[in-house]
């Protein structure tokens, strides 16, 4: 059985992404709102590869940085999709 507990991070994981950017890989991202609009604490969001990072309705801005990778369930033998 393959090891699936190991997370692999690369140079793109050091980058921050803004609303409207394409999500480079699925995972949990920490979204920090625009500091000029201190309406919310940073949040963890799920983002799916190929989709766009969301825009905050209140500040319209923010930055996202990956916290944890997600596995593609179709690539794990014991799961059936």
**What does the pLDDT look like over 48-59, one tens digit per residue?**
999 999 988 887
Do 63 and 31 meet the contact criterion of CB atoms below 8 Å apart? yes
Nearest to 27 by CA among 15, 4, 40, 44: 44
Q: Point out which residues pair with 40 in neighbouring strands.
A: none
Q: What is the mean pLDDT of residues 23-49?
A: 86
What pTM was estimated for this model as a whole? 0.72
Is it the case that residue 69 has pLDDT exceeding 50? yes
């Amino acid at each position: 059985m393959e090891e699936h507990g190991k997370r692999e991070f690369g140079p793109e994981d050091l980058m921050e992404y803004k609303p409207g950017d394409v999500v480079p890989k699925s995972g949990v991202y920490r979204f920090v709102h625009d500091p000029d609009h201190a309406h919310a604490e940073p949040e963890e969001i799920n983002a799916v590869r190929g989709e766009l990072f969301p825009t905050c309705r209140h500040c319209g801005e923010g930055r996202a940085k990956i916290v944890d990778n997600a596995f593609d369930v179709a690539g794990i033998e014991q799961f059936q999709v």
